[in-house]
Amino acid sequence: MFAARELKLISETPLFAGLDKGFVSHAAQCAEERSYAVGELILREGGDADSGLGVLLFGKAQVHKAAGGSRVLVSVLEPPTMMGASCLFMNEAHAATEVRAVKPCRLAFLREDTLRLLMRENFALAENYMRYLTGRIRFLTERIESIGSPGAAEKLMNYLALNARDGKLTLPMGYKSLADALCVSRASLYRVLEELEVAGRLRREGKTLYPVKSEVD
């Protein structure tokens, strides 16, 4: 059984946003509780995906992607974050990234067949899922365009837009991992950070970055 605080976290995910509390509670009763110790793999890149969707309710996990013979830190997951949505409703789906617990993690996991039944019960759930995927497609399209451009500054700001939470992004692995994620050298990263600070587009406090929204945003 999930506590009231955990039900609230589930209701805050894009999948359950705006849905009736009674339905969210019903859906949670259909979910499995899964726990992972520090260092344990939640998803293995290229491995057979356990077809379903997980909601991170407790802990912290890191997402890595293989690139150039090394593993690049893509993002850091904290509650309430969904994972596995891209593998749903696909035959022989494989996880596109590696997700590993860096703090003890607890998930609510909904199997694909369970989600399908819930969507039939409440079409608003299916609409939320489609809306979420549409948003991801739009964002990733913009990200591809940004990465394809020569500007390291826009790569960085795009990365912050994806990963910042509550107006900030803390880098647990330091600036080297951020440089690797952006596919730029550390020297280029530090130069861009200084330029963006001078331009008033972000500020730094140690390993924490604060993107600054413009007045026209």
**Mean pLDDT over residues 50-75, rounded?**
83
Domains of the chain with bracketed CATH: 4-144 (2.60.120.10), 152-211 (1.10.10.10)
**pLDDT attached to residue 147:** 56
Contact status, residue 88 vs residue 112, Cβ threshold 8 Å: yes
pLDDT in tens, 159-183: 888 788 888 888 877 888 888 888 8
Cα distances (angstroms) measured from residue 123 to each of 23, 65, 212: 12, 34, 37
Structure tokens at 65: 């992607």
**Mean pLDDT over residues 43-72, rounded?**
81
Tokens 């022989």 appear where? 92
Q: Residue 89: which region, alpha, beta or left (left: phi > 0; alpha: psi -120 to 50)? A: left
**pLDDT attached to residue 68:** 62
Average pLDDT for the chain: 86
Most confidently modeled range among 116-120, 150-154, 209-213: 116-120
Confidence of residue 71 (pLDDT cuts 50, 70, 90): confident
| Residue 46: pLDDT over 80 | no
pLDDT in tens, 126-145: 999 999 988 888 877 766 66
5 vs 19: CA distance, rounded Å: 16
| Residue 60: pLDDT over 90 | yes
**Mean pLDDT over residues 93-98, rounded?**
77
| Residue 111: pLDDT over 70 | yes
Q: List, in sequence order, the alpha helices (H) in the chain.
A: 4-11, 21-29, 112-121, 123-148, 152-163, 174-182, 186-198
Which residues have C-beta within 8 Å of that of residue 4, sequence separation ≥ 6?
none
79 vs 58: CA distance, rounded Å: 6
| Residue 216: pLDDT over 50 | no
| Residue 215: pLDDT over 50 | no
**pLDDT attached to residue 217:** 44
**Mean pLDDT over residues 66-82, rounded?**
81
**pLDDT attached to residue 81:** 92
